Structure 1
Amino acid sequence: MTAVIAAHTRVVGMVRGREIDASASVTLDQDTLVLAWQDATPWRLSLSGIEGIAGGGSSLTVYLVRNDVLELSGDDQLRALGLQLLDRACAMPELTRGLKSLGSSRGTPVAAHDRWFAPLLAARRAVEGVSDPARQVMLLDAAALTQDIQRAIAEIAAIKAPGDPAEQRAVEAALEEEAAAVFTAIESMGLAGDALRGGALDTRIADWRRWVETVRGVFAAADDAWTGIAAELR
């Protein structure tokens, strides 16, 4: 169980047109940042409304939607709180939920099915438990994933036409055509990853969310592509 970190801070900023300058105890409750004021009802800010954070040893800046900003200062616990916030806000979601072809190899060689999805499953394992956005992007490198998919296609072609190089090349070309949307999705993921790594801290979490959607797009495209690939292998 994750320890609760409480930071006793001064909070200065602007939220929904309202200026803030007050003391508060700040904690994380599940997916909510809680600011408990001394003489007012606590504020509960959903992590989904936080677009970025930046901080030092005893300060933390929280960038909210609609360009609202909160400056927290005065407690060494703020650094640990910021890391915990990033850890929760940028935890990788389950990437294979809802994929229909992944769990079924009916009517096709099991070896080909497993080989097709192997690069995606390896990518999912690589980022499991990693919450640092820059490291996630590094682990899901678009160029490397493209090469892995191309290698899988070549190996599937060899499964389909063993000992026949000419037929293997023909099968490989057909499979690459079926996988065109996958390569396009990977390219989009790479561009989103570049934007995340080169972006500002005030939009880091928002940029991460956009990147995650492109990652989901890669997995969905690969799942959809298997239908056409399987047809080529029959």
Structure 2
Amino acid sequence: MTATDGAPVHVEGIGPATMRVEPERRVVLARTTGRDVEVRYARIVGVAVTRGADGLLVVLHLVNGGALRLTAAGAPESFDAEAARLVADVFSLPELMRGMRAYGAGRALPGSDHDRFFAPLVEPLRALRASHERALGAGATAAPWRVAESVGATRAAAEIRAALGALAASRYPASAPDRRALEAELLDETEPLFAALDELTAAAQRLGVASERDRVAAWRAWCSALGATFVAADRCWAAVLPALNEAPSPRAPR
């Protein structure tokens, strides 16, 4: 993101200023008189953007319980643009794949087994990012946090359990005791992933009922839970590989 010239605004209790959403993850309210007001994103726990007969109203809810109310003071288009930049920033999605070590790595034996294990997470992630981009396209009054509703953590957990069962069955198609033993071992190794998915479900529920005063904080918590889920999946895949490698190859003749 690059800096802009900003937008003229009126800040309740402060007066006229120029609002700039800056790359350093902060909002600067440059005042015509007096000291500028700098609000770093870490201090923002909620953002409300509404459009009424008088134009756009942006309310920044702060961690100390205070709030800043901003309205356009001329050039409403530039205010809309700055508000849209702010919404896109505070409700951005984290980069989830960059820190994963096992996903797609040669030592993690990428292939059909690898893809089957990760599919319940990776495929919904692609849809999530597409929905998020579409939501941000709505501009300043977008509600990008609603995309969290589309992430079915409970469904993903069921699909991962089914995938583990299928992996065990492919190793021991003719031996039910061996198949059950391997499946139990795989489920035991992936327990941290199921715990992370449970927390992701809880975080989504908290986000769903969050008010505008704490919605940004709830979004950050949900994003953190989402990231933790992918980290857990990455580690769990590495943990199940020894058991899969010790079992008969699914391609070996029975």
> 1: CA distance between counterparts of 2:108 and 2:4?
51
Deviations 1:75-126 (A, max 9, x none): 5444554333121111111112222221335375732222212222223322
Unpaired stretches in structure 2, ≥5 consecutive residues: 137-143, 246-254
The answer to whether the 8 A contact 2:3-2:20 is kept is: no
Q: Is the partner of 2:122 in helix, strand or coil?
A: helix
Specify the alignment match of 1:104 in structure 2. 105
Most deviating of 2-11 and 61-70: 2-11
Q: Note closer, same or farther for the CA distance 1:9–1:116 as it changes in structure 2 (3 Å cut).
A: same
The answer to whether the 8 A contact 2:102-2:108 is kept is: no
1:21 to 14, 18, 31: 14
Deviations 1:162-188 (A, max 9, x none): 455554333222211211111111001
> 2: CA distance between counterparts of 1:43 and 1:3?
16
The answer to whether the 8 A contact 1:53-1:82 is kept is: no
Most deviating of 72-81 and 216-225: 72-81
Number of positions where the alignment pairs a residue of Structure 1 with one of Structure 2: 226
Q: Is the partner of 1:66 in helix, strand or coil?
A: coil
Specify the alignment match of 1:37 in structure 2. 31
Letter in 1 for 2:146: A
> 2: CA distance between counterparts of 1:56 and 1:111?
48
Deviations 1:20-79 (A, max 9, x none): 421112122222212121124533322232111113222111112211210112454445
Q: Note closer, same or farther for the CA distance 1:226–1:62 as it changes in structure 2 (3 Å cut).
A: same
Q: Is the partner of 2:96 in helix, strand or coil?
A: coil
Q: Note closer, same or farther for the CA distance 1:122–1:217 as it changes in structure 2 (3 Å cut).
A: same
TM-score normalized by structure 2? 0.78
1:134 to 146, 150, 156: 146
1:61 to 59, 62, 84: 59
Cα RMSD for the two superposed structures: 2.5
Q: Note closer, same or farther for the CA distance 1:168–1:109 as it changes in structure 2 (3 Å cut).
A: farther
Q: Note closer, same or farther for the CA distance 1:109–1:205 as it changes in structure 2 (3 Å cut).
A: closer
Most deviating of 166-175 and 202-211: 166-175
Specify the alignment match of 1:10 in structure 2. 10
Specify the alignment match of 1:224 in structure 2. 235
> 1: CA distance between counterparts of 2:114 and 2:57?
51
What is the percent sequence identity of the aligned residues?
Answer: 27
Letter in 2 for 1:86: V
